[in-house]
Structure 1
C-alpha cells in the first residue's frame, strides 16, 4: 500500500514541479517567485476531479477521472476565466491580460498533454467524444522523468528572485525531462518492432496491440495483443536477447452475463476500452482491465492483474486502480524486477 500511495503522490508532485518550471519560464521575470506557486496550482488544476470521488461509486469515479477536466474544452473555458481572476487578484503584477491567457493556457494544456503519456487515458475530446487518448509512454510515476524537474524546482526555491540563473534552471528541468520522453519513444519503437516480429514468428494473429512501461522505468515493457476471444500478454526488455514469451488470456466475457444490467459494469466496459478479461477467484467473479499490467507478472506466470474489480462486492473496490500496482512488493521482488529489466 505504501508503494501505491507513493505512485499517486509522485504523479501529483510531477504536475507541481512541471507547473513551477513553466511558471518561471513564462512569468518569472514579472511575477518573481509567485510564478512558481501560481504555475504549480494552475498545472494541478485539472486534477480537481478527485472531488468527484466523495459522491461517486468506484466504477463511475474511475470513468470520471481524467474526463471533462482533462479536455480541450476545459482548457478553453478555464484559460480566460483564470486570466480574468488573476488580473483582479494581481492588478499591479505587470502581467497583461494576454500574458495571463498564455500563462494559464500553457499550464493547463501541459497537464492534459503529460497525462496522456500513461495508461489511464485522458478525455481530450469530452464531452463530445468519450474516447480516451493514451500514448503508453510513461508509467504513472517515473522518477527518470520527474527528477530533473524536481532538481530545477529546488534550485528555483533557493535562488533569489531576479537571479540570472533562474530561467536556466527552469529550462534545464523542462528540456531534460523532454529528452527523457524522446528516449521513451525510442525504447517503445524498439520494443514494438521486436514484439511484433515475435508474435508473427509464434503464429499469434491479433487485431489490436499496445505496449506500456512497467513500474518506474522505460526499459521493461508489458505487451498486449488482442485476438477475437482474448489476449496474448508478455514482457520484453530493451536488453532482451531471446524472443518474447507470450501467454494467452481468454476474455471469458460469458461470465459477465449475470452482471450486464449493473451500472458499474457498464462504466467498467466503457473505461477499459475493450481491454478486459473476466475470471473467477474462488466464488468471486472479477473484472480485469489489462491496460494497467499484472502484479509482478514478469516473474509470476499466474499473476493477477493490477486493476481487478470484484463484481459481487463493489464496496471492496475503493482503491481499485492503486491497490495492485505494488501489491506484494518487497526487497526480493525489487531485486528480481531489476534483474528482469537487465534482460532475459
Structure 2
C-alpha cells in the first residue's frame, strides 16, 4: 500500500489496542503502543532509501528482505526494544505484540497489489503479488480516515470502531477476490492456452489492467465493468542467441529488471553508433506507453557503455538517463 494508508493503519491499530485491558488502564502503555504501531506500520518500507543509491539496487530489494519473515520479527523487536529503552515503565510484551502486529499487517496488505513482496523469504524467494487491490485504494483509505475522525473528533470508542472497520475491510477484500476471479474466468473463456494472467487493479474500482501470456502471444488488455478488451498484442519470442543479448543479460540493471518482472518483451536495435537492447514490462501500460523498462547500450564490440532500469515516461528522458554514446 501507499505510505498514507500505512500511516492510517498504524493509527487504527493503536486505537484497536485499547481492547487490551492493560492498554486501557495505562496511558503510558497506550502512548508507547501508538508510537510502536506507527513505526511498525511503516518500517518495512524504510528500504526506499535504496533509491538514493541506484534503481537496480532499489528494484531488486524493495519489498524484498525488509518484508521477509526474519525482518518482520526483527522490526517488531527493534522498535519495541528502542521504545522500551526510553520508556522503561511501559509493558514490553504488550508493546511488542501490537508493534509486531503493525509490521505483519504492513507486509500482509502489500501482497494484495500488483507489485507484491517477497514475504515468504527465506522459505521461498518468489514474489507474492495477488493483484486484488491497487497500491492506493481510496475505499480503504477513506474507511480509515472515517474511523480516525469518529475516534478523535466524535469520541467514538476506538477499539470497537476499528474492530468494525476491519470486519468491513475483510468483506471488501473478499469482494475484490471474487472480482478478480470473475475476470480470470472471462479471460480463460476468451483466450486459448493461457499460461499466466497478471492483474493490476487501478484506482477506479471497476477498471483493471491485464497482462496475459499464452503459448504464442502476450496480450495487454483491460477489464472495464467486466468486459475484457485487448489493447496491444505481441508475438512471444524466446531470448535470441545474440552477442548483444548475452552481454545485456549480465548487466546489473537488466538482472534487477528480470528478477522483478514476470512478463516482458524485448527488442534489439543495431544502429550506426551503438546497439541497444531493451526489455519492456507489459504490466504498467499508461496512455499507450510502457514506462517500466531496462535498456542497455553497447558499442560495436558489444561492450556495455550505459544502462538503465526504472520507470520512465518519455524517450527523451530515457536517453538523458543513458547519456549519449560517443562516436
Q: Shorter-normalised TM-score: what interval?
A: 0.7 to 0.9
Residues 52-71 of structure 1 correspond to what in structure 2 (within 5 A)?
A: 52-55=50-53, 57-71=54-68
Q: Residues 244 and 48 from structure 1, CA distance in 2 versus in 1: closer, same or farther, beyond 3 angstroms? A: same
RMSD of aligned alpha carbons: 2.8
* TM-score, structure 1 as length reference: 0.75
Unaligned stretches of 5+ in structure 2?
298-304, 314-327
249, 256, 260: which one aligns with 2:249: 260
| Deviation at residue 266 of structure 1 after TM alignment | 1.6
Correspondence for 1:304 among 269, 286, 289: 289
Return the match for 1:42 from 40, 45, 57.
40
Alignment of 1:218 onto 2:205: yes
Please say if 1:277 is aligned against 2:265: yes
User: Does structure 1 residue 89 correspond to structure 2 residue 81?
Assistant: no
CA drift at 1:174: 2.7
Paired residue for 2:173? 181
CA deviation vs aligned residue, 1:272-325 (integer Å, no higher than 9, x gap): 13x11123699654322223x2113xxxxxx222322333396765xx34x55x
Q: CA deviation at 1:256?
A: 3.5
How big is the shift at 1:259?
Answer: 1.2
**CA distance in 2 between partners of 1:169 and 1:136 (Å):** 28
Are the equivalent residues in 1 in contact too, given 2:188–2:194 (CA < 8 A)?
no
How far does the alpha carbon of each residue in 1:187-234 deviate from its partner, in whole angstroms, 9 at most, with x for none?
Answer: 1111111121111xxxx3222223221x20331222222234541221
Structure 2 CA distance for partners of 1:153 and 1:250, relative to 1, 3 Å? farther
| CA separation of 1:226 and 1:151: change in aligned 2, threshold 3 A | same
Deviations 1:132-155 (A, max 9, x none): 111111111111221101222234
Distance 1:168 1:314, change over 3 A: farther
* Corresponding position of 1:290: 282
Alignment partner, residue 235 of structure 2: 250
For residues 105 and 208 of structure 2, what CA distance do their matches in structure 1 show?
A: 25
- What secondary structure, in the 3-state scheme, does the structure 2 residue paired with 1:236 have? strand
Q: Distance in 2 between matches of 1:49 and 1:314?
A: 25
Contact 2:221 2:230 in 1 (8 A): yes
Structure showing greater Rg: 2
Determine the structure 1 residue equivalent to 2:73. Answer: 76
Greater alpha carbon shift after TM alignment, 19-28 vs 222-231: 222-231
Q: 1:110 and 1:281, CA in 2 relative to 1: closer, same or farther beyond 3 A? A: farther
Query: How many angstroms does 1:123 deviate by?
Result: 1.0
SS of the residue corresponding to residue 131 of structure 2 reads coil
Tell me whether 1:98 sits opposite 2:93 in the alignment: yes
1:191–1:238 contact (8 Å) kept in structure 2: no
CA–CA separation in structure 1 for the residues paired with 2:82 and 2:177: 38
Q: What does 1:137-176 align with in structure 2 at a 5 Å threshold?
A: 137-158=132-153, 163=155, 165-176=157-168
Compare relative contact order (CA 8 Å, sep 6+) and give the higher one, 1 or 2: 1
Partner of 1:5 in structure 2?
A: none
Aligned equivalent of 1:129: 124
| 1:197 paired to 2:189 | yes
Q: Distance in 1 between matches of 2:224 and 2:254?
A: 34
Is 1:237 paired with 2:224? yes
